[in-house]
Structure 1
Amino acid sequence: MDQGKRAQRARQIENAAYELLEKRGYSGTSMLSVARHAKASNETLYRWYGDKRGLFISIVENNAAATRQKLEAAIGGNADPLMVLEEIAPVLLSMLLGKKAVSLNRAAAADESGELGLAIAAAGRGMVYPLICRLMERGIQTGALKATSSETAADWFLNLLIGDLQIRRVIHALEIPTEQDLQQRVDTAIFAFKKLCETS
């Protein structure tokens, strides 16, 4: 199977897993049920993903891919850290408050094993947070940002941007925000972050 066909097949399998997750929860979703729903062989799923946790790690990684790719590209170049933050903030916020991330978090909250929560932490925050820290470190080194550490700056930024919005979405206390709502939140967070970091 060539790479293009494999990528397309993987998307079909991961979409099937996500659909079952919404209906049955994490504990009620087995590799066999995903294979049947995706019309794939159980052997293929185990060969490609290793196990159920590996499958859901792949789903979380793919959901966070746009943010991660933008950060990686920015870190590899010489873009102004604040400009990068303004660029990635809407992508990150939209992803975290989107249907897929919220459904994954709802399922994780109901998963007594804690396995899905660990997968989300590893493939989501575990991959994006270090990249944000690296961006902040560059900002501190160049004098674009003032903070005691890159982790402190990253925490300020994420708390201002996300706050309790995702948890409110997860518990059904907040509808999915409009594009205008997202942009207003981004603008407010960036303005406050600049004030905290003493940028002009």
Structure 2
Amino acid sequence: MAQYTLTELATYQEDVRKSRFAALASKADNPDEALRFFAEHSVPTATHNCWAYRIGNEYRFNDDGEPGGTAGRPILQAIEGQQCDRVAVLVGRWFGGIKLGPGGLIRAYGGVAAQCLRLGSRIELVDEEQLLLQCTFADMALVQSRLGTFGARIQAEEFDAAGVRWQVGVPRQLADALVAAFTDLTRGQGRYRREADEQGH
């Protein structure tokens, strides 16, 4: 089944029995990115800032003071129900004086999160292979300029005295071609490791 992520920030707001629910959803490539998104967008004036993210097999959710299982988990279920991955969803609630009860909270948080994702601008995720690429500073600019040709995206970047080390996600069907081009561009000096080959090269 196809999986989707968001191309830009998505928002949706709804009033449920005098409580206001405001959802914000964003693409997140790793848990740190998701947690940063929640930290930056949580609203101090909201009664609750509840959230969930799913990134591949990793997921987390937070009820932020709502009864256990009535907020974060329904948001996570909305992410899964909308076939989304690499997505973080934050739902703020401003209490309006009428208690919704567990069932009402589950429907409100889940429904607002699902509608936010449904209305968001989405793109299908491509099956990717993870590569670790290492090259010298001399080769860095050339290699980086060619990554886009293979639909590759840099997920993490580290520098040391020897040069740069990238963790790269590349469409699985283009991984062989990228490795061949990388070897060529670095005249065989670059080092790489594929997720399917932990022995390295």
TM-score bracket for the superposition, by shorter chain length: under 0.3
TM-score normalised by L of structure 1: 0.25
Q: Which has the higher helix share?
A: 1
TM-score (norm 2): 0.25
Bigger CA radius of gyration: 2
